[in-house]
Amino acid sequence: MKDLVTLQVNGDTHEVAVPTHWTLLESLRYAVQLTGSKQGCDKGDCGACTVWLNGVPTLACITPVYEAVGQRVTTVEGLVGLRTAPGAPHPLQDAFDVCGAAQCGFCTPGILMSAAALLEENTAPTRDEIKDALSGNLCRCTGYTKILDAVEMAAATLRQQPEVAA
């Protein structure tokens, strides 16, 4: 059985028919066709599925789709143009590239979403604050040092540039 749900994702409205048991992650990937958020553990352990609900990092794999109805959902695709010119990569995306913070890339979307949420609140986080913000995201490839460096680089960039109006 399917239900019709309306989701506000990255500023766009999507009316989709989804099975009643689907999670937000399944709805985003398979109904809305936004595949940036990764389907990792399906039990809320790895953070690869992290999206924002009203600006708050949320594990989409354990969030029923109905909890997102009437909420603002932001996925990793929605970072483009956020805090930058329209269509430009988010400073975190640039910093991950410069620092070599992504290897296989599977965990990267969730880490970007968790780190971006931190930087929305605090553009001068300490290394410990960054570690705490990313504590729900697992990376099996990088060892985290380059990820932490990239978040620090992005924070410095955000401190130096004026906020771009949306």
What is the predicted pLDDT for the residue at 166?
46
Average pLDDT score over residue span 119-136 = 97
Q: What's the mean pLDDT when you consider all of the chain?
A: 95
Binning pLDDT at 50, 70 and 90, where does residue 161 land? confident
pLDDT band at 115 (very low <50, low <70, confident <90, very high): very high
**Considering the domain 80-160, what is its CATH architecture?**
Orthogonal Bundle (1.10)
Q: Is the dihedral of CA 75, 71, 162, 134 positive or negative?
A: negative
The pLDDT confidence band at residue 164, using thresholds 50, 70 and 90, is low
* Surface-to-core class of residue 30, CB atoms within 10 Å of its CB (0-12 exposed, 13-18 middle, 19+ buried): middle
Q: What is the pLDDT of residues 26-79, one digit of tens each?
A: 999 999 999 999 999 999 999 999 999 999 999 999 999 999 999 999 999 999
Count the Cβ atoms, other than its own, within 10 Å of residue 163: 9
For the chain, give the number of residues.
166
All structural domains of the chain with their residue ranges? 2-77, 80-160
In the prediction, which pLDDT does 163 show? 57
With cut-offs at 50, 70 and 90, classify the pLDDT of residue 142.
confident
Q: Which CATH number is associated with domain 2-77? A: 3.10.20.30
